[in-house]
Structure 1
């Protein structure tokens, strides 16, 4: 029971699959489009499973007089399945369903999908996807359609609790375009062949050895400076009399 409604349940955290929460979709061709989602409820969440069982029973009790004219179906069809088993068609559930209870809820009216950090603001469509985790309000009801009698599950609202690995083979843009968006290499100057070797300076033979750097000639031996007291008439270089 949730909010004093014996047929209403607020689930614990579950994983969402087959999310049609932003655009309605018909279950089969020609059918009425509805908003819907499949809930993967961990089997370890015994509290949620107990609430669901009690709500189904309450819906069956109400339908007994209001829908089924006092005749309860001998085999009551319920909308919850064992993810470790098979679908009603006999096809096994996917690997993501292992260890979970599987149930689909739908509604004609668009549900509100909010985040746990701000329940007053609806999420953008890009933040809503199969594989995310959420808590969901659901309500059970009895139906009788073309001789088929059972319990259906109506979808209320969704509160996203955290992100998860996307289901249905979805991939992020960063994975799809890895390496494609890298910046291109800088273009070479106009008229320049980037594969050609650099041209040598004009008039220079690239095979010739490099010219040595200019070196000034070494200075010769300095002339001896005659002493100040050299006698007049003597050759200052030879030391002989002139």
Structure 2
């Protein structure tokens, strides 16, 4: 396996787009992607990620950075307990106590179950599930920015978790069922006291 490639321990997945590619912004190429939450207690996975990033940086010096190592190359792995690098806002609660990074690919990733059998049912794969990821870190130089990105090779689902959908249920949105509106009430006579 490539020295820049890592198979994680158990992680949690968020913002999963694994069956259908999605463009992150208008005009961008659609990609398959997921955000990966690595618990900080998994020091073995973090050490493997750090080694892969360092290897990618060394490759970048010779491959795409003109023989010069940038003083602070942009790295795609962030501290879930710190601010988001994009806007300074805190990461979501699900990121607390985790290392956070997004992996993407133009090609469909493999998606398998515990027995390494393909998962074809799209409802089985969702934000909030737990599993392992296989990713490759790579150097890039783009629009004057030099750094290390992360390519998604595949995902293995290990177990279910609470969905991170951001959606609310009908009960949460509207409360208990409302009483029937009396016959003959019109829009102008709101019987519920508005």
Going from structure 1 to structure 2, the CA distance change for 1:169 and 1:146 (only over 3 Å counts) comes to: closer
- Stretches of structure 1 that go unaligned for 5 or more consecutive residues are 177-242
Tell me the alpha carbon deviations over residues 48-97 of structure 1, each in whole angstroms, 9 at most, x when there is no partner.
00000000000111111111110111111100000001101201101110
SS in 1 for 2:150: strand
Compare CA radii of gyration and give the structure with the larger one.
Answer: 1
Q: 2:83, 2:89 within 8 Å by CA — same for their partners in 1?
A: yes
TM-score when normalising by structure 2 = 0.84
Of 39, 46, 51, the residue aligned with 2:48 is: 51
SS in 2 for 1:55: helix
Find the counterpart in structure 1 of residue 89 from structure 2: 91
The runs of at least 4 consecutive aligned structure 1 residues that moved more than 4 Å come to 170-173
SS in 1 for 2:117: strand
Q: 1:84, 1:97 within 8 Å by CA — same for their partners in 2?
A: yes
Q: Counterparts in 2 of 1:138-153, with a 5 A limit?
A: 138-153=135-150
The count of residues paired between Structure 1 and Structure 2 equals 172
Task: Give 1 or 2: higher strand fraction.
Answer: 2
Find the counterpart in structure 2 of residue 128 from structure 1: 125
Find the counterpart in structure 2 of residue 224 from structure 1: none
- Stretches of structure 2 that go unaligned for 5 or more consecutive residues are 174-194
Tell me the alpha carbon deviations over residues 150-196 of structure 1, each in whole angstroms, 9 at most, x when there is no partner.
001000110000000000234689x99xxxxxxxxxxxxxxxxxxxx
Q: Counterparts in 2 of 1:1-242, with a 5 A limit?
A: 3=1, 5-88=2-85, 89-116=87-114, 118-170=115-167
For 1:146 and 1:76, the matched residues in 2 are separated by 14
TM-score when normalising by structure 1 = 0.68
For 1:122 and 1:17, the matched residues in 2 are separated by 18
Q: 2:75, 2:148 within 8 Å by CA — same for their partners in 1?
A: yes
